[in-house]
Amino acid sequence: MVLVKIKWNKQVFPTEVSAEDTPETLMKRLQEVTGVPPERQILVGLKQGALRLHSAGTLFAHGLREGSTIMLLGTAKVGDAATAPKAAFEERGGRGSNDLGRLGDAKGPGSLSAVRRTPWPREPRKHVPELREYLRSLASQGSGPTGVATTADPSVRLVTALSALSEAIQPRTNERGVDDIPERFYPNFFLASLRSAYPQFAQRDNHGLYMQQDAEECLSQILGVLARMPPSTESPAQSNWIDATFGTMVASTDRCIDTSASVGEIAPVTSFECLRLLPCHISKQVNQLTEGVHQGLEGSIDRYVEAAGRTLSWKRESRIQQLPPYLIVHFVRFFWKPVEKVKAKILRKVAFPLTLDMLPFCTEELQSRIRARRASASTVKSDRCDQATNSAGQSETNGKEDAPSALYDLFAVLTHQGRTADSGHYVAWVRDLDQSMDRSIWLKYDDDRIETVDEEQIMRLCGGGDWHMAYICFYKMRPSPELEENHAATP
């Protein structure tokens, strides 16, 4: 087995080649990466001359050696551009055969081997079913496979590639009426579209392999490009589905606390911001996710005041004015060290709850509405046996339908293992909704290794060492309040 480099269309693919490989076997593997059909491929750069699909003999016989650089000539079919790049993985650790050739350094996070091992689980389809419909509505506005290949807008290509990936992981009902779940998913075209839209994710190291990037930056960019898409023709009134689904509306009030100012009383300044990822700041005083969120909602800033002619100190207090159906919490673990010039990581242990109560972080007006709804729901529950009381209670509840429950259940965790943002390993942990009788069963997606874990292992992802630690937590709001004592917000 030798490692060679394949150059095509300004890209470099480190590739492992065995002594038995022929031009045909290599070209079939290259099709999975480039979308170029084998019959269109020409390999140049070997001593024995150019190689085509039916060139006889092994690659070694044609002069291929360790470290060789080969140029691939050929173009992909326009109609196949959205589906040609295929990098597969065995779902749930072993179903189906994985007969793709080895492409790239298995240790390199940006190589095709690493991409092939990347998990693309079906669980997000179940936890956030609205996302698939939203992506489908965007794709139906003219961003089909042909549009992907021809449009000059990389953002449109990225959105359509994401929609195509969402469709690829959906089960199909066969003639027997049973879900026919695909054993292989193909994320390569989505990755290529992401790197085209945001070149920062296409950075390579000195070996030509893709460098590891920050998962929070990647998620933020994807949500951002989706939010900038024009509203769907099916729902023109919904101008920004992403912010309506994931955005937390925060109202901030800044008050001047600089007593040295000689310009009299300075009026407070109010501002509003929609946060798609709610930050959980980490300091020596933070031991719980709720403490980190609270710290992020309060702080001090410097603001220039024209009347004083200088910058004064202000205190900022923020409260949540509107809660989203899905809450994404980002643990701010990475920070820049200017002397060492490295993005270091905060390893401090920060516990996160399985059920998160956002009531304490809301504005007084929103808190009042939430408490009223909870009280009404509690009354209905206690008087359920009395039909008359139940009906009255239900009527009161319906009068407060606009008040959210503010109770969120954890359904997924993205963890990072490592000391810096430029290295380490990301793993996804997702609640298994197929286990309807046991909500404590989770699935761990570690590259192509997918295994079942229990809730106790999820709670150990709070950090404090070199083990996997929570970096992004995904919560879903309950449709109605459930006030049992065992659903307290603190773990």
26 and 142: one domain?
Answer: no
Number of structural domains (the chain) is 4
Is the pLDDT at 205 greater than 90? The verdict is: no
What is the per-residue pLDDT for 243?
A: 93
Sheet harboring 310-322: ordered strands across? 269-275, 248-256, 310-322, 298-305
What is the per-residue pLDDT for 390?
A: 44
Model pLDDT for residues 92-146, shown as the tens digit of each residue: 333 233 322 233 333 333 333 333 334 444 455 567 888 888 888 887 765 443 3
Average pLDDT of the residues in 289-317: 89
Please report, for the domain that includes residue 459, its CATH number: 3.90.70.10
In a domain, 108, yes or no: yes
| Alpha carbon distance, N-terminus to C-terminus of the chain | 51
What is the per-residue pLDDT for 367?
A: 95
Is the pLDDT at 39 greater than 50? The verdict is: yes
What the block records as the tokens of 69 is 């650089």
C-alpha span between 283 and 286 (Å, rounded): 5
What is the per-residue pLDDT for 252?
A: 94
What is the per-residue pLDDT for 70?
A: 85
Cβ–Cβ under 8 Å, residues 281 and 333: no
Is the pLDDT at 85 greater than 60? The verdict is: no
Which of these three, 76, 103, 118, is where a domain ends? 76
Model pLDDT for residues 20-30, shown as the tens digit of each residue: 888 888 988 88
61 and 14: one domain?
Answer: yes
Quote the Cα angle for 260-263-264, to 5°: 95
286 and 425: one domain?
Answer: yes
Model pLDDT for residues 381-391, shown as the tens digit of each residue: 665 545 544 44
427 and 316: one domain?
Answer: yes
Q: Which residue has the higher pLDDT, 10 or 252?
A: 252
Domain coverage including residue 284:
252-359+406-487
Which of these three, 76, 99, 126, is where a domain ends? 76
Mean pLDDT of the chain: 77
Q: Which residue has the higher pLDDT, 399 or 477?
A: 477
Q: Mean pLDDT: which of 178-192, 283-297, 365-379 is highest? A: 283-297
In a domain, 247, yes or no: no
Average pLDDT of the residues in 461-472: 91
Is the pLDDT at 360 greater than 90? The verdict is: yes
Model pLDDT for residues 439-460, shown as the tens digit of each residue: 788 999 998 788 899 999 999 9
Range scoring the smallest mean pLDDT among 166-180, 272-286, 356-370: 166-180
The residue assigned the tokens 């040295």 is 260
Strands 407-417 and 355-357: antiparallel
Q: Which of 84, 98, 102 is nearest to 40 (CA)?
A: 84
Residue 256 to residues 253, 262, 384: CA-CA distances in angstroms? 10, 12, 52
What is the per-residue pLDDT for 278?
A: 96
Range scoring the smallest mean pLDDT among 44-48, 291-295, 388-392: 388-392
354 and 460: one domain?
Answer: yes
If one counts every other C-beta atom within 10 angstroms of the C-beta of residue 325, the result is 15
Is the pLDDT at 482 greater than 90? The verdict is: no
